[in-house]
Each structure stands twice: as C-alpha cells, then as structure tokens.
Amino acid sequence: MSELVVDLFEENRIWTLKLDGNVDSNTHQFMWFTNSSASLLKKLQEAQAEALRIDLTETNSFDSQGLRLLLNAHKEFSRAKLPIILKNPNVHLSRLFKIMQFDRIFEIEFDP
C-alpha cells in the first residue's frame, strides 16, 4: 500500500508543502494537508502568502489523479494570482512534467 506524508510550513511568506511518498489513487486525497486545494488556497490567502512551493524532493511518483489535482490547483491558484512552484522533482517526475508540458505552466526549481 502506498503512503504519503505531508507537511506544510512557511518561510518569508513562501509556503512549502512537502510531499514524502507517492501521490496515487490511494493517497491523492491527503496531498493538500487540508481538505482540498481550495481550502489550502484560502489559508494561504489569509496568511498573505506570496507563493506555494510544492517540495517533491522525497516524492517518488504521481499517477494521473495526482497530476489532475496539480492542474486543478493551478487553475484555482492562478485565479488568485498565487503561483505554484514545483521544487526538486526527481528524474522520472521531471521527464513526466516535461511530457505533460507542466514546465510551461508551473515554475520548476532545483536546489543548487
């Protein structure tokens, strides 16, 4: 069975959602730390966040449901003018994001 550990923290008005594990049909409902991306967005707006960084350093894979959640969140967060940054995807996820053209709609950053 898949497992996903999620942590949310703030530093300098940039909120980081750290995902550890797999985002798949068994775990995708836990991805947002709150009930949904909309409730997370509300929380970040109340905190006057400047961006949401999703740390994928310890994330192994995303299935189609996880990818759909990211796309839906992008739509919601874009309307609120709050960017989502994907941080440190592994080689597999980087390739998947490029194939799915996520690199055109999300900022993707890597630690030096």
Q: Which residue has the higher pLDDT, 32 or 23?
A: 23
Q: What are phi and psi of 86, to 5 degrees?
A: -95, 120
Query: What pTM value is reported for the model?
Result: 0.91
Domain ranges of the chain: 23-54+67-85+108-112
Distance of CA 59 to the CA centre of its chain: 10
> pLDDT per residue over 28-62, tens digit each?
777 776 667 788 888 899 999 999 999 999 999 88
> pLDDT per residue over 77-112, tens digit each?
999 999 999 999 999 999 999 999 999 999 999 998
